[in-house]
A and B are shown apart, each in its own frame.
Chain A
């Protein structure tokens, strides 16, 4: 089961990194005001609406079984990769909204100051707006991170031998629920410390502000 849990850990670590990057790109597109970007902005908005509105388990099913069923050569068929892809798509939409709220909370006078200092719009985002926005949304970002740590168990629907799946199989063959409890403890072992870190950051932020 530990091996299965190690797969969970690897999966959420990789997915989390991808989510933090894609989420930010989508948020920047959605908050940009350049008229030429309007079509991409619309696309990003549709993306967020769609993936936030569909249950995670359904997306994992759809992508995990749907893409191999298309039988297009070149597309990955490894269920772990497909599951990771599904989780990335869904969580990027959650995280994009968190980032977007953060960017919107930075007063426009900061953008003015960046531009007046001679920075380009992109540099102003990079050095002035985004660093402040991320600082502000760290608690909700970590919250989504914790959700993701648990939601990786959903990839078991593709038959991937991760912790929950292994525990389930053992339970079904022995009629003993201890393996499920053991799996629960494994998840808690990573989510509880994460929650404490989150509390710590939140309280420190409140003292500072």
Chain B
């Protein structure tokens, strides 16, 4: 990762964020800073709050308490227009969530045309370039259901990138894929990291987190209980919860 741009100023800052669904506290005081060109991997068991945290940042879920900043500006205040914030972020979902009634190119250009006001031809040109870059050249006119899962997820990645986002939020982007298709998507993310994209990614792929992320944050019951250098967290975790989590993954052959 030596050629990738170095981490710079804070892009996303999260302070004291809490969120409950009914009686269940899903986020319990999260503090996290994501700097420019940095990639942080969120790891933790299912239900530890990784997805919810990403959804809170994209304002798809309203937080109960705390603040989230984007480029130094608070975005979780009721006076902030969430649409304007979402246009500055890219989000990739676990189950792709492509628009099934639209062609691949329309999926990729919908945001730039309708949200960013880019003209049809320019949007298509840019969309084609993105698809080309991620190995989807020539698939513009296919419908999502004509593509494999890995290809669909790469279309979703192109869709998220089409608005030239300040940061990319990736929610377990390989969890819904057959094992043999995971590689393509991880290659695409690796490529983006190399390019200096700022990323926050929830993942179950530990080896990938170790390779791509600058830092790993381990979530447990809605709290980040250990954070730091991937190598260190994965090989010599300090907290018993992290040790237990990693032991389980090891036993399941997932590391």
Contact status B163-A117, CB under 8 Å: yes
Task: Write the nearest CB–CB distance from B106 to chain A, whole angstroms.
Answer: 9
Write out, one digit per residue, whether chain B residues 70-87 have a CB within 8 A of any chain A CB (1) or not (0).
Answer: 000000000000110011
Chain A residues contacting B116 (CB-CB under 8 Å) are: 118
B115 within 8 A of A: yes
**How many residues in A have their beta carbons less than 8 Å from beta carbons of B?**
17
Closest to A121 in B: B83
Interface size range of chain B in the complex: 20 to 34
Asked if A10 lies at the interface with its beta carbon under 8 angstroms from chain B, I say no
Q: Does A77 contact B (CB under 8 A)?
A: no
Do the beta carbons of B97 and A123 come within 8 Å of each other? Answer: no
- Known interface pairs A116-B58, A116-B91, A118-B87; A123-B114 also in contact (CB < 8 Å): yes
A127-B114 contact given A115-B60, A132-B101, CB 8 Å threshold: yes
| B95 contacts A by Cβ under 8 Å | yes
Q: Which residues of A contact B114 (CB under 8 A)?
A: 118-119, 123, 127
Which residue of A is nearest B88, CB measured?
A118
Contacts of A135 in B (CB 8 A): 101
Contact B115 A123 (CB under 8 A): yes
How far, in angstroms, from A123 to B93 measured CA to CA in the complex? 20
Residue-wise, chain B 161-186 has the 8 Å CB interface mask toward A (1 for contact) of: 00100000000000000000000000
Closest to B163 in A: A118
Chain B positions within 8 Å of A110 at CB level: 97, 99
Q: Is B86 a contact partner of A115 (Cβ separation < 8 A)? A: yes
Q: Is the CB of B115 within 8 A of A118?
A: yes
Q: Give 1 or 0 for each of B90-113: 1 = CB within 8 Å of chain A CB.
A: 110101011111000000001100
Q: Using a CB-CB cutoff of 8 Å, which residues 80-121 of chain A contact chain B? A: 109-110, 112-120
A128 to B99, Cβ gap below 8 A?
A: yes
Q: How far is the CA of A109 from the CA of B171 in the complex (A)?
A: 13
18 contacts between A and B (CB under 8 A): A109-B93, A109-B95, A109-B97, A113-B93, A113-B97, A113-B98, A114-B99, A117-B160, A117-B163, A118-B83, A118-B87, A118-B111, A119-B83, A119-B111, A119-B114, A119-B115, A127-B110, A131-B101
Q: 11 other contacts beyond A113-B99, A119-B110, A127-B110, with CB at 8 A cut-off?
A: A112-B55, A112-B60, A113-B93, A115-B60, A116-B93, A118-B115, A119-B111, A128-B99, A131-B101, A132-B100, A132-B101
> B interface vs A, CB < 8 Å?
55, 58, 60, 82-83, 86-87, 89-91, 93, 95, 97-101, 110-111, 114-116, 159-160, 163
